[in-house]
Amino acid sequence: MKTYRFIAVFLLLANAGSASEVSDPNCLLSEMNREIAGVTNHYDELLDVQFETLNQIDRSMLTTLNNCDKVDLLLRKDRVLTEIRILRNDSINEISKIRYLKGLQIIKILYEKVLSLDHHFASVRTFSEINKISNPNQYPEYSKLKEVLAANRERRTAFELTTVLGTNTIVSAIQTFTAMLSSNLTKQEKERELATVECILDFTLRMQNDLNTIYFDTAFLQTSNDKIKEEIESLFRDYTKAIGYSATLESCRINDDWETLIQKMDEYLRKMKGATASSQYKMQVNMEFPVDRLLQFITQYNNHIDQGGKFYEKFKIILNSYENEKQCESKLPPEYTKLKADMDVAINKFNVAYKPVEVNGSKMKEILYGLNEFE
161 pLDDT higher than 70? no
Q: Which residue has the higher pLDDT, 8 or 129?
A: 129
DSSP state of 138: G
- C-beta neighbour count of 360 within 10 angstroms: 10
Asked whether the beta carbons of 339 and 9 are under 8 A apart, the reply is no
**pLDDT number for residue 56:** 93
Query: Domain segments of the chain: what residues?
Result: 3-120+209-369, 133-206
Q: What digits encode the pLDDT tens for the residues 17-68? A: 343 456 788 888 888 888 888 999 999 999 999 999 999 999 998 888 888 9
Hey, how many other C-beta atoms are within 10 angstroms of the C-beta on 252?
Answer: 19
For the cut 60, the answer to whether the pLDDT of residue 365 exceeds it is no
- Rounded Cα gap, residues 185 and 181, in angstroms: 9
- 3-class secondary-structure state, position 50: helix
Average pLDDT, the chain: 81
| DSSP code for 247 | S
146/102 Cα distance (integer angstroms)? 64
Q: What is the pLDDT of residues 194-209, one digit of tens each?
A: 888 889 999 998 998 8
| pLDDT in the model for residue 13 | 38
Residue 148: C-alpha distances to residues 141, 180, 188, 308 (Å): 11, 9, 14, 45
Spatial distance between the Cα atoms of 159 and 175, rounded to a whole number of angstroms: 9
* C-alpha to C-alpha distance for 240 and 260, rounded to whole angstroms: 12
CA distance 91 to 297: 27
What is the reported pLDDT for 248? 93
Provide the 8-state DSSP code for 20. Answer: S
Instruction: Give the pLDDT mean for 241-270.
Output: 89
Count CB atoms within 10 A of the CB of residue 325. Answer: 16
The residues, ordered by sequence, that sit 6+ positions from 37 with a Cβ below 8 Å of its Cβ are: 372, 375
pLDDT tens for residues 260-277? 888 888 888 888 878 887
Q: Region 346-362: what's the mean pLDDT?
A: 78
pLDDT score for 369 = 55
Nearest to 146 by CA among 114, 168, 124, 175: 175
* Prediction pTM value: 0.74
Q: So what's the pLDDT on residue 81?
A: 94
Q: Does the pLDDT value for residue 374 go beyond 50?
A: no
pLDDT tens, 111-139?
Answer: 999 998 888 776 665 556 777 788 888 88
Residue 360's pLDDT is 55
203: Cβ contacts below 8 Å, ≥ 6 apart: 133, 322, 324, 328, 331, 332, 336
Q: How many Å apart are CA 217 and CA 228, to the nearest integer? A: 16
- How far is residue 292 CA from its own chain's centroid? 17
pLDDT at 153 (0 to 100) = 67
Say how many C-beta atoms besides its own lie within 10 A of residue 140's C-beta: 8
The DSSP letter of residue 275 is S
Q: Cα–Cα distance between 9 and 15 in angstroms, integer?
A: 10
Please compute the mean of the pLDDT values over residues 235-249 and round it to a whole number.
91
Residue 12: its pLDDT value, please? 37
Which is more confidently placed, 339 or 232?
A: 232
